[in-house]
Structure 1
Amino acid sequence: MLTIPIKRAHIEVTHHLTKAEVDALIAAPNPRTSRGRRDRTFLLFLARTGARVSEATGVNANDLQLERSHPQVLLRGKGRRDRVIPIPQDLARALTALLAEHGIANHEPRPIFIGARQERLTRFGATHIVRRAAAQAVTIKPALAHKPISPHIFRHSLAMKLLQSGVDLLTIQAWLGHAQVATTHRYAAADVE
Structure 2
Amino acid sequence: MTWDEKIKDFEIFLRFERNFSENTLDAYIRDIKKLKEYAEGDLENMGPDSIDYENLQEYIFNLSKQKFSERSQARWISSIKAFFKFLLEDECREDNPASLLEGPKLGLYLPDTLSLTDINKIIGAIEISTDLGKRNQCIIEVLYGCGLRVSELIDLKISNINFKEQYIKVVGKGNKVRFVPLADYTAELIKCYINDIRSKSKVNRKHEDTLFLNSRGTSMSRVIVFLIIKELTDKAGVSKKISPHTFRHSFATHLLQNGADLRFIQEMLGHSSITTTQVYTHLKTEELRDVILTYHPRNAKITQ
TM-score (normalised: structure 1): 0.86
Q: Following the alignment from structure 2 to structure 1, what is the Cα–Cα distance between the partners of residues 226 and 235? A: 14
Structure 2 counterpart of 1:81: 176
After the TM superposition, which segments of 4 or more aligned residues of structure 1 sit over 3 Å from their partners?
6-9
Q: Following the alignment from structure 2 to structure 1, what is the Cα–Cα distance between the partners of residues 154 and 138? A: 12
Structure 2 counterpart of 1:120: 219
Q: Report the residue type matching 2:234 in the other structure.
A: A
Q: Following the alignment from structure 2 to structure 1, what is the Cα–Cα distance between the partners of residues 148 and 255? A: 14
Structure 2 counterpart of 1:141: none
Q: Following the alignment from structure 2 to structure 1, what is the Cα–Cα distance between the partners of residues 143 and 193? A: 15
Q: How does 1:30-179 map to 2 (within 5 A)?
A: 30-66=127-163, 68=164, 70-100=165-195, 101-103=197-199, 110-138=209-237, 144-145=238-239, 147-179=240-272
Q: Following the alignment from structure 2 to structure 1, what is the Cα–Cα distance between the partners of residues 276 and 137? A: 29
**Residue 13 (structure 1) shift:** 2.2
Q: Report the residue type matching 1:162 in the other structure.
A: L
Query: Does the 8 Å contact 2:145/2:182 carry over to 1?
Result: yes
Q: Following the alignment from structure 1 to structure 2, what is the Cα–Cα distance between the partners of residues 14 and 190? A: 9
Q: Over alpha carbons, which structure has the higher Rg? A: 2
Query: Does the 8 Å contact 1:14/1:190 carry over to 2?
Result: no
1:12 aligns with 2:109: yes
CA distances 1:61-100 after superposition (whole Å, capped 9, x unpaired): 111112x1x4111111112211111111111111111111
**How many residues in Structure 1 have an aligned counterpart in Structure 2?**
178
Q: Report the residue type matching 1:82 in the other structure.
A: V
Q: Following the alignment from structure 1 to structure 2, what is the Cα–Cα distance between the partners of residues 54 and 176? A: 13
Q: Following the alignment from structure 2 to structure 1, what is the Cα–Cα distance between the partners of residues 122 and 272? A: 29
79-88 vs 172-181, greater mean Cα deviation: 79-88
**Residue 109 (structure 1) shift:** 5.4
Q: Following the alignment from structure 1 to structure 2, what is the Cα–Cα distance between the partners of residues 24 and 123? A: 22
Structure 2 counterpart of 1:29: 126
Q: Which has the bigger relative contact order, CA under 8 A and spacing at least 6? A: 1
Structure 1: runs of 5 or more not aligned: 139-143
Structure 2: runs of 5 or more not aligned: 1-53, 55-99, 201-206, 287-304
Counterpart pick for 2:275 among 170, 176, 182: 182
Q: Report the residue type matching 1:192 in the other structure.
A: T
Q: Secondary structure at the match of 1:103?
A: helix
TM-score (normalised: structure 2): 0.56
183-192 vs 23-32, greater mean Cα deviation: 23-32
Q: Report the residue type matching 2:119 in the other structure.
A: V
Q: Secondary structure at the match of 2:278?
A: helix
- What percent of counterpart residues are identical? 27
Q: Following the alignment from structure 1 to structure 2, what is the Cα–Cα distance between the partners of residues 14 and 123? A: 19
Supply the RMSD in Å over aligned alpha carbons: 1.8
Q: Report the residue type matching 2:223 in the other structure.
A: F
